[in-house]
Amino acid sequence: MSIPSEELRGAGGTGEVIVYACCSTALGLMAMAATDKGVCFVQFGEDEASLVDCLQAEFPHAELTPSLARNAPELDAWVLALDQHLTNGAPRPDLPLDLRGTAFQVKVWRFLLSIREGEVFSYSEVAVGIEKPKAARAVASACGKNRIGVLIPCHRVLRGDGGLGGYRWGLDRKRALLNAERKRQGYI
């Protein structure tokens, strides 16, 4: 994943245009949104209206625009690439990401990008990996705040006892992602 250098941006998307698109995937309806820096939002939900509401809640001061190929051809290609990954097992696309969070959250999310497909870490192992060994709960919180599903693979983080823990988009989706990755890697 290519990640642009961190810049100061307006809170809640102030002064920004965010383009979004929705499509059906093997994990259900997905919305992806991007700024001029990269993908800032990948969420799953039951209907387009609730996904757009979620996007608006995440970026309340941004101008949200549905994608039309002439306005954001990259976004349409990115949505298709991620859908191919989820639905047909194509490689996870290497897309530019626009990470927005606290310094700690961004550190966690960057670490998650280093976890290879088919591997899992515990929240404690991630905490050790970011050199904050006592921050397992904060790591779990950062995973829960991840607004870029699948591309930032928080689904690869489990409880210390091997249990699934939580997942912002439901445990069925987390289980499906992990099983698909393990199968592609020959673990099952």
Rounded-to-10 torsion of CA 21, 143, 185, 87: -20
CA dist., res. 83 & res. 89, Å (int): 9
CA distances to 18, 41, 43, 72, 76 from 69, rounded to whole Å, are: 14, 18, 20, 5, 7
Q: Is 22 a catalytic residue?
A: no
| Residue 130 structure tokens | 């970011």
Active site residues: 154
